[in-house]
Amino acid sequence: MDTDDTGDPGDPGDGERSNPPDSADEATTRDTRLGVDVGGTFTDVALLADERLTTAKVPTTDDQSRGVVRGIEAACEAAGVDPATIAGFRHATTAAVNALLEGTGAETALVTTEGFADVIEIGRQDRPDLYDLSATKPDPLVPRERRFELDERATTEGIETPVDSDEVREIADALDGDCESVAVSLLHAYAHPENERRVAEVLRAELDVPVSVSHEVLGEFREYERTATTVADPYVTPVVDDYLGRLIERADDLAVPAPQVMQSNGGIADAAAVRRRGVTTLLSGPAAGVVGAARFEREDHDGLVTFDMGGTSSDVSLVREGSVERTTDASVGGHPVGVPMVDVQTVGAGGGSIARVDEGGALRVGPESAGADPGPACYGKGGEAPTVTDAAVVLGYLGEDTTLGDGLELDADRAEDVMEALADEAGLDTVIDAAQGVYRVANATMARAIRGVTVERGHDPRSFALAAFGGAGPMHAASLADELGIETVLVPPGNGVLSALGLLAADERHDAARTRRGSLADLDADAVESVFDDLTDAVLDEASDPDAATLARRVDCRYEGQSFELAVDAPDPFDAATVRERFHAEHERARGYRLDDPVDLVTCRVTATVPGDPPDLAYSPEGDPLLGKRDVFFPSGFYRAPVYDRARVPVDVNVDGPAVFAGGESTVVLPPDWSAHADAHGTLVLEVTEE
């Protein structure tokens, strides 16, 4: 691509990018869809109308609903769209996870079986850090004084001691006015929930607070995980309910429909459903990003490593054979949560992560973040701490005239000042040494996270492509790929707001599970079918269009004597021989061997999916992409690198590094020995240059 030095380059965007409509009438009559993702630093908006994508990025506010509305207004103004014409609104929120991590959830009480009140405090025998003698676990979400025991008992065979309703009423009297929500988790309620149902019935009649019961939240065995998940639900549900209530009111003022909300499982659900079950939204935002990235998987790789770097943290996950990796064995802030989630590993390394020198003189980055207010020093909003974004400014990855979301301009002098102070503290020779050190330490943290979802799980990262998105992801992606031996990086269109765009691509999804333990050789197929029927009814009841839903049935199995399970597809009707053979094959694939031992069925699962309508984005670059040149630092030294407008890069025209691609919501850095081209869909494909 021909270049010339045409002056001081910068990012031409102001946090918004759009191909405007031909007329105001067109803007008010076309079908418009909206996705809004709230992050720790920025709130991202993707507005789609007739294949025209408009994006906006505004600072996240303390009351997230205000920032969401501000973002909607900004995107609509940029696109020339009347908010009243928006036909669908999808949303990803951090309300639940913030409440859990910050300890600001509802004052929750726990009602459990006599002798089991301390299960959530005792937990498992594993420690947060095996070799740290001072390592501590997080405090339980329910303090000891709000845990109540009932004289009742169920076994896996049935109810031995029924619930005394008067005893439950006594607990209700003690709780009246002293709690904001209640969790009920009784022994073996996953198998026989009759006692739990009675307890919940009495508590709901006596108390005007949300009541969560374990057989509805997580109908599975393992007492600690089931109780911890059940407690987490009423702990965050009032927060989610309150937040969505405010957001619905503010959206209604704009004549925007009530939002559908992204769940942790990567599927959309109506706001009414998640307001009743807030625990399903703990990984709402990261799940949306992975779902959005999955659409860009290429056949010439084993899959995608998704890399989402925002202002506060970085999230990594895997996509294989078009499917997002999911788990039911997750922990959030040290609290186990057993509901289905997109399998995301999060580290505290983002654009706003604060750099410091520790007591031993080593340079550290994160997990503390400058957030949106005051933000990095270069934001010019009073921030005094050096951050990853400040390092990027000093290294030339972000230009002095770069404009971030909501018209936020960078102050290069402030970035240099805080980096110079860091260099002095760390004993480094130059401000460039400090900035490069911050950049490399942040990359090392993110590389460890990627190895955690690849190498540590038996996958070779070199056989995957790296899908980079988020406000800061594409700026670090090529350097990370070099470190991991990955030779292809994909930067999707709208990558800076891909989580918001992923909301528009997501299916509606509902999950239900119930433990039904027994040897496959002895199981009654009709009894298993009865469990599947109940689970099917439960997920279809949640579906917006049951007739359009597709059903998937799976079972968790293990060899007799094993402690953990593998999931395999279950035939309809259930057939033990087919399940057994599928389990043998899956065990050999995952663990490298199979046994002749008996196979146990543990848990039945059903998922209902209502297909979504993924956007088909048009890419029609026009105009000269060259913005200018600026000095950019790489490990081999400074380069006078061209800066291109990402939205104007012609299709299939190769650009050799070093170069910078500026966009309305993110910046792509192309190092030496790399090349890039835009494909027909607007994805920027970065590849290692052949030697």
Q: How confident is the model at residue 126 (pLDDT cuts 50, 70, 90)?
A: confident
Distance of CA 219 to the CA centre of its chain: 24
Dihedral sign computed on CA atoms, order 47, 49, 51, 53: negative
Q: What is the pTM of this model?
A: 0.85
Structural contact between residues 352 and 325, judged by C-beta atoms closer than 8 angstroms: no
Distance CA 546, CA 607 (A): 12
Structural contact between residues 277 and 284, judged by C-beta atoms closer than 8 angstroms: no
- pLDDT of res. 82: 93
Structural contact between residues 307 and 293, judged by C-beta atoms closer than 8 angstroms: no
Q: How confident is the model at residue 1 (pLDDT cuts 50, 70, 90)?
A: low
Where, residue-wise, is CATH 3.30.1490 in the chain? 508-610
Distances from the Cα of 296 to the Cαs of 49, 58, 196, 514, 614, in angstroms? 21, 26, 45, 34, 12
Span 268-295, pLDDT tens digits:
999 999 999 999 999 998 899 999 999 8
Q: Find where tokens 């989630």 sit.
A: 341
Where, residue-wise, is CATH 3.40.50 in the chain? 107-235
List of E strands, 418-533: 465-469, 488-491, 508-519
Span 553-584, pLDDT tens digits:
999 999 999 999 999 999 999 999 999 999 99
Distance CA 124, CA 147 (A): 19
- Kindly state the average pLDDT of the residues 494-513: 91
For residue 267, give the H/E element and its range: none
Mean pLDDT of all residues belonging to the chain? 89
Dihedral sign computed on CA atoms, order 488, 492, 493, 497: negative
CATH number, domain 508-610: 3.30.1490
- Kindly state the average pLDDT of the residues 22-47: 72
- pLDDT of res. 406: 54
- pLDDT of res. 93: 93
- pLDDT of res. 167: 96
Share of the chain above pLDDT 90, in %: 68
Rg (CA), the chain: 26
- pLDDT of res. 405: 55
Distance CA 553, CA 563 (A): 22
Could you tell me the two tokens for 454?
Answer: 């690849």
- 46 pLDDT exceeds 70? yes
CATH number, domain 107-235: 3.40.50
Distance CA 268, CA 413 (A): 44
Query: Following DSSP, what letter does each residue of 80-127 receive, concatenated?
Result: T--GGGEEEEEEE--HHHHHHHHT-S--EEEEEETT-TTHHHH--S--
- pLDDT of res. 4: 39
Total count of residues recorded for the chain:
691
CB contact set of 690 (below 8 Å; sequence gap of 6+): none
